[in-house]
Chains A and B, each alone.
Chain A
Amino acid sequence: SQQGEEDPQALSIQEGENATMNCSYKTSINNLQWYRQNSGRGLVHLILIRSNEREKHSGRLRVTLDTSKKSSSLLITASRAADTASYFCATDGGQAGTALIFGKGTTLSVSS
């Protein structure tokens, strides 16, 4: 099962530009996480934002969470070619026996 949509499905930008990806979900959550995946590789955990938080920063990443709209956004500032990857949001119900449920992902392509 999947939580919902990510928007856009694909994004192409130039180096130095900002990239914004949005994620919507359907159920109540304990936290929401963003992951990066390079082609054919494993997942890299980027950031976790809890349901009682509205915004979080980590380096060039900024994540917002709006629980009333059941949505989150990931902003990558000053993008680099190395940021080219697929980005997924994943929601966590927060109980010990529950899995992360992933969105469909955004494929980001940053050209130099």
Chain B
Amino acid sequence: GAVVSQHPSWVICKSGTSVKIECRSLDFQATTMFWYRQFPKQSLMLMATSNEGSKATYEQGVEKDKFLINHASLTLSTLTVTSAHPEDSSFYICSARDRTRWNEKLFFGSGTQLSVL
């Protein structure tokens, strides 16, 4: 079955540093990938839609200069949390649509737990 690989699975960093999270579709091509954020005991909130070869679309309230998204190929999207602060500590999870089966379920990565000290 289709697999989405996300790493790192967890990262601890100092305040002010940048952290990059990778989301890779292993056996399918994904024109579109999605990034979610989840705070403890809350639901998943869509942050942005990553489009291959074009700019990402950000949800209202998400700072595009803080959360940089790059989708340079049909199998890789990256989310960079720039100048991370403790309030950015959260669980980040990506998902992808198989462009040949776009009407089927999305595939999710296993998530990245970010802790900013």
Q: Smallest distance from the beta carbon of B43 to chain A beta carbons, Å?
A: 5
Question: For residues 73 through 117 of chain B, which have their beta carbon under 8 Å from a beta carbon of chain A?
Answer: 91, 93, 95, 97, 99, 102-106, 108-111, 113
Are A99 and B99 CB-contacts (below 8 A) given A1-B59, A43-B108, A48-B105?
no
Q: Is the CB of B34 within 8 A of A102?
A: no
A95 to B97, CA, bound (A): 10
Q: Is the CB of A33 within 8 A of B95?
A: no
Determine if B25 is an interface residue (Cβ-Cβ < 8 Å): no
Minimum CB distance partner of B6 in chain A? A42
Q: Is the CB of A2 within 8 A of B105?
A: no
Interface residues on chain B, size class: 20 to 34
Q: Is the CB of A2 within 8 A of B43?
A: yes
Q: Is the CB of A105 within 8 A of B34?
A: no
Q: Mark B21-61, 1 if CB is under 8 A from A, else 0.
A: 00000000001101010000111111001010000000110
> Measuring CB to CB, which residues of chain A are less than 8 angstroms from any residue of chain B?
1-2, 30, 33, 40-43, 45, 48, 88, 92, 94-97, 99-105, 107
Question: Top 9 A-B pairs ranked by shortest CB distance?
Answer: A96-B102, A42-B110, A99-B34, A102-B44, A42-B111, A104-B43, A43-B108, A102-B43, A105-B43
Given contacts A97-B31, A97-B49, 11 further A-B contacts (CB under 8 A): A30-B103, A41-B111, A42-B108, A42-B111, A96-B32, A96-B97, A96-B102, A100-B34, A100-B46, A102-B44, A105-B43
> Measuring CB to CB, which residues of chain B are less than 8 angstroms from any residue of chain A?
31-32, 34, 36, 41-46, 49, 51, 59-60, 91, 93, 95, 97, 99, 102-106, 108-111, 113
